[in-house]
Amino acid sequence: MRSRRFTLFAMMALGALLVVPAVGLAADAPKPPTMAHDASAVPSDFNVGSSINTLWVVIAATLVIFMQAGFAFLEIGFSRGKNVGTIVAKILTNFSIAAFMWWICGFALAFGNGKYFGNSGGFFFSLPDLADGVPSGGFSEAWQSSFGAMSFSSASVPSKFLFQFSFCAVSLAIVWGTTLERIKFGAYVLYAIVFAGVIYPVGAHWVFGGGFLQAGDAFGLGLTGVQDFAGSTAVHLIGATGALAALLLLGPRRGKYGPDGKPRAIPGHNMPLFGLGVIILLIGWVGFNGGSTLMAIDGRFPEVVMITMFASAAGVLSALLVAKIKTGSIDIGMAGNGMIAALVAITAGSGYVAMWAAPIIGGIAGIIVVLGVYAIDKKIDDPVGALSAHGLSGIWGTLACGIFTVPELAKYNAWGDPAGGLIYSGSFDQLIAQAFTVLVAFSFVFIASYLTFWVISKTYGLRVTAAEENAGLDISEHGMYGYPEQFIPAAELFSYGAVPALERIGTGPVSDPEATA
Amino acid sequence: MRSRRFTLFAMMALGALLVVPAVGLAADAPKPPTMAHDASAVPSDFNVGSSINTLWVVIAATLVIFMQAGFAFLEIGFSRGKNVGTIVAKILTNFSIAAFMWWICGFALAFGNGKYFGNSGGFFFSLPDLADGVPSGGFSEAWQSSFGAMSFSSASVPSKFLFQFSFCAVSLAIVWGTTLERIKFGAYVLYAIVFAGVIYPVGAHWVFGGGFLQAGDAFGLGLTGVQDFAGSTAVHLIGATGALAALLLLGPRRGKYGPDGKPRAIPGHNMPLFGLGVIILLIGWVGFNGGSTLMAIDGRFPEVVMITMFASAAGVLSALLVAKIKTGSIDIGMAGNGMIAALVAITAGSGYVAMWAAPIIGGIAGIIVVLGVYAIDKKIDDPVGALSAHGLSGIWGTLACGIFTVPELAKYNAWGDPAGGLIYSGSFDQLIAQAFTVLVAFSFVFIASYLTFWVISKTYGLRVTAAEENAGLDISEHGMYGYPEQFIPAAELFSYGAVPALERIGTGPVSDPEATA
Amino acid sequence: MRSRRFTLFAMMALGALLVVPAVGLAADAPKPPTMAHDASAVPSDFNVGSSINTLWVVIAATLVIFMQAGFAFLEIGFSRGKNVGTIVAKILTNFSIAAFMWWICGFALAFGNGKYFGNSGGFFFSLPDLADGVPSGGFSEAWQSSFGAMSFSSASVPSKFLFQFSFCAVSLAIVWGTTLERIKFGAYVLYAIVFAGVIYPVGAHWVFGGGFLQAGDAFGLGLTGVQDFAGSTAVHLIGATGALAALLLLGPRRGKYGPDGKPRAIPGHNMPLFGLGVIILLIGWVGFNGGSTLMAIDGRFPEVVMITMFASAAGVLSALLVAKIKTGSIDIGMAGNGMIAALVAITAGSGYVAMWAAPIIGGIAGIIVVLGVYAIDKKIDDPVGALSAHGLSGIWGTLACGIFTVPELAKYNAWGDPAGGLIYSGSFDQLIAQAFTVLVAFSFVFIASYLTFWVISKTYGLRVTAAEENAGLDISEHGMYGYPEQFIPAAELFSYGAVPALERIGTGPVSDPEATA
Query: Do C504 and B475 lie within an 8 Å CB cutoff?
Result: yes
Chain CA centroid to CA A423, Å: 33
Chains that touch C (3 or more CB pairs under 8 A): A, B
Contacts A477 to B, Cβ<8 Å:
none
Instruction: Give me the residues of chain C with pLDDT under 50, please.
Output: 1, 20-30, 37-45, 129-131, 495-517
Q: What is the pLDDT of residues A21-41, one digit of tens each?
A: 444 444 444 455 666 544 444
Please tell me the distance from the alpha carbon of residue C215 to that of residue A461, in angstroms, as a whole number: 57
Q: What is the ipTM of this complex?
A: 0.91
Predicted pLDDT of residue A134: 56
C41/C382 Cα distance (integer angstroms): 58
C35 closest CB neighbour out of B80, B255, B416: B416
Question: Any residues with CB less than 8 A from the CB of A382 and at least 6 apart, and which?
Answer: A177, A178, A243, A247, A373, A376, A388
pLDDT value, residue C161? 96
Task: State the pLDDT at residue B26.
Answer: 47
C8: contact with B, CB 8 A cutoff? yes
- pLDDT of B508 above 70: no
The residue ranges of chain A whose pLDDT is under 50 are: 1-2, 20-30, 37-45, 129-131, 495-517
B309 CB neighbours in chain C (<8 A) are: 65, 99, 162, 165
Confidence of residue B310 (pLDDT cuts 50, 70, 90): very high
Q: Phi/psi of residue B226, each to 5°? A: -80, 150
Residues in B closer than 8 angstroms to C8, CB to CB, are 248, 380
> Which chains would you list as touching B if contact means 3+ CB atom pairs under 8 Å?
A, C
Pairwise CB contact (< 8 Å): B486 & C483: no
d(CA B222, CA B192): 35
Q: Distance between CA B497 and CA B406 in Å, rounded?
A: 64
Give start and end residues of each alpha helix (H) in B328-459: 332-349, 357-377, 386, 393-404, 407-413, 422-425, 429-458
- Shortest distance between the Cα of B29 and any Cα of chain A, in A, equals 8
Instruction: Please tell me if residue C486 touches chain A, with a CB cutoff of 8 Å.
Output: yes
Give the list of residues 6+ apart from residue B182 with CB closer than 8 angstroms, or none: B250, B251, B253, B254, B463, B464, B469, B473
C-alpha separations of B194 from A95, B108, B198, B451 in Å? 44, 15, 6, 11
Closest chain C residue to B415 measured between Cα atoms?
A: C35
- Closest by CA to C305, choosing from C290, C288, C294, is C290
SS (H, E, C) A21-36: HHHHHHHHCCCCCCCC
pLDDT for A494 equals 53
Count CA atoms closer than 13 A to C476's CA, side-chain side.
Answer: 22
Interatomic CA distance for residues A183 and B472, integer angstroms: 34
CB B65 within 8 A of CB A283: yes
pLDDT tens figures, B407-424: 989 998 999 999 999 999
Contact assignment for A440 to B19 by CB distance below 8 Å = yes
Residues of chain C with Cβ-Cβ distance to A274 below 8 Å are none
Q: What is the pLDDT of residues A404-416, one digit of tens each?
A: 999 989 998 999 9
**Region class of C449: left (phi > 0), else alpha (psi between -120 and 50), else beta:** alpha
Contact residues, B window 108-137, toward C, CB-based 8 Å cutoff:
none
Which of C:210-239 have CB within 8 Å of A? 210, 215-225
Tell me the C-alpha distance between A231 and B286, whole Å: 31
CA distance B391 to chain A (A): 26
Alpha-carbon torsion A15, A16, A19, A20, what sign?
negative
Q: Is A10 exposed, middle or buried (0-12, 13-18, 19+ CB in 10 A)?
A: exposed
Q: What is the mean pLDDT of chain B?
A: 88
Q: Which chain B residue lies closest to C5 (C-alpha atoms)?
A: B248
Check residue B511 and report its DSSP letter.
-
Cα angle vertex C255, ends C254, C258, to 5°? 135
User: CB distance from B304 to chain C under 8 Å?
Assistant: no
Residues of B in contact with A431 (CB under 8 A): none
Cβ distance C272 to C295 under 8 Å?
no
Q: How close A480 gets to chain C, by Cα (Å)?
A: 8
Q: Which of B3, B84, B92, B475 to mutate to test the interface with A (most CBs of A within 10 A)?
A: B92
pLDDT value at residue B39: 44
Residue A307's CB: how many other CB atoms inside 10 A? Answer: 29
**Burial of residue C379 (number of CB atoms within 10 Å: 0-12, 13-18, 19+):** middle
Distance CA C197, CA C103 (A): 9
The answer to whether A400 and A349 are in contact (CB under 8 A) is: yes
Quick check: C299 and A165 CB within 8 A?
A: no
B263-287: per-residue pLDDT in tens?
Answer: 999 999 999 999 999 999 999 999 9
Smallest CA–CA distance, residue B32 to chain C, in Å, is: 40
Write out pLDDT tens, residues A492-505. 555 444 444 444 44
Q: Residues 410 to 449 of C: which have CB under 8 A from any A CB? A: 410-412, 414-419, 427, 429-430, 432-433, 436, 439-440, 442-444, 446-447
Q: Which residues of A touch B29 (CB under 8 A)?
A: 221-222
Chains A–C, number of C-beta pairs less than 8 Å apart: 345
Q: What is the C-alpha to C-alpha distance for residues B453 and B447, in angstroms, rounded to an integer? A: 10
**Count of CB atoms situated within 10 Å of the CB of A491:** 9
By the 8 A CB rule, do B179 and B250 touch?
A: yes
Does residue B272 contact residue C75 with C-beta atoms inside 8 Å?
A: no
